[in-house]
């Protein structure tokens, strides 16, 4: 089982890098990155579509037909559609989510962006998220690609992680620290 998992990660990385190189050659980075994000959003917001993509009983012809129809209706870049069809023909479509996520990460890294994760107890407005991104960009002297999640389990405060640096100002963390001190005493 672990050999298959390693193979899937390795092959996903290779396909992601190949897509990046094709995007560079054809000067389509921005379009293919947007297509990838839209396709990933479609997968994450539609459980039936996600199940369809993972179903091994579906024929290659049916997969190609559905993907071509989606490409046509969503006006996806031709190169992106051809790439999806290649994944189908090579029987690698099962890894499409991982491949596209890796592709987006490669694009981000090549632009020099740092990946940042923010989790907050209260729902933040877009202005607050933008301000946090601006401040992080100033502090780390780099472009920041921000991923925001609302997490009520934090009780209050927020957790910011940029690369290996983590700042945890959540009440949940403070309560855990107090609990640990009480146990040690």
| End-of-domain residue from the set 61, 90, 109 | 109
Same domain, yes or no: 125 and 81:
no
Chain centroid to CA 90: how far?
A: 23
Boundaries of domain holding 41: 2-109
Same domain, yes or no: 35 and 92:
yes
* pLDDT tens digit at each of 185 positions of the chain: 444 455 567 788 899 999 999 999 999 999 999 999 999 999 999 999 888 888 888 899 999 999 999 999 989 999 999 999 999 998 888 889 999 999 998 998 888 888 888 888 888 899 988 888 888 888 888 888 888 888 888 888 888 888 778 888 788 888 888 888 888 86
Domain count, the chain: 2
Residue with tokens 């993907």, as numbered in its chain: 67
pLDDT given for residue 19 in this prediction: 95
Same domain, yes or no: 100 and 84:
yes
pLDDT given for residue 5 in this prediction: 52
Same domain, yes or no: 23 and 51:
yes
Q: Which of 149, 111, 150, 146 is nearest to 131 (CA)?
A: 146
Same domain, yes or no: 166 and 94:
no
Same domain, yes or no: 36 and 14:
yes
Q: Which of 110, 98, 78 is nearest to 14 (CA)?
A: 98
Residue with tokens 């890098």, as numbered in its chain: 17
pLDDT given for residue 8 in this prediction: 67
pLDDT given for residue 41 in this prediction: 93
Q: Which helix (H) or strand (E) holds 114?
A: strand 113-120
In this structure, is the dihedral angle defined by the CA atoms of residues 71, 30, 12 and 50, taken in order, positive or negative? negative
pLDDT given for residue 66 in this prediction: 92
pLDDT given for residue 1 in this prediction: 40
Residue 90 phi/psi, 5-degree rounding, is: -85, 5
pTM to 2 decimals? 0.69
Same domain, yes or no: 132 and 163:
yes
pLDDT given for residue 72 in this prediction: 92
């Amino acid at each position: 089982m672990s050999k298959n998992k390693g193979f899937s990660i390795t092959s996903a990385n290779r396909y992601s890098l190949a897509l990046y190189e094709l995007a560079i050659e054809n000067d389509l980075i921005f379009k293919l990155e947007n297509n990838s994000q839209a396709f990933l959003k479609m997968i994450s917001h539609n459980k039936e579509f996600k199940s369809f993509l993972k179903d091994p009983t579906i024929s290659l012809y049916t997969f190609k037909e559905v993907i071509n129809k989606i490409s046509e209706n969503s006006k996806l870049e031709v190169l992106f559609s051809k790439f999806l069809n290649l994944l189908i023909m090579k029987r690698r479509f099962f890894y499409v989510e991982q491949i596209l996520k890796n592709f987006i990460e490669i694009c981000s890294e090549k632009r020099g962006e740092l990946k940042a994760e923010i989790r907050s107890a209260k729902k933040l407005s877009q202005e607050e998220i933008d301000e946090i991104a601006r401040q992080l960009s100033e502090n780390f002297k780099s472009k920041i690609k921000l991923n925001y999640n609302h997490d009520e389990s934090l009780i209050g405060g927020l957790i910011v992680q940029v690369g290996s640096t983590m700042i945890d100002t959540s009440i949940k963390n403070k309560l855990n620290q107090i609990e640990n001190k009480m146990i040690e005493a």
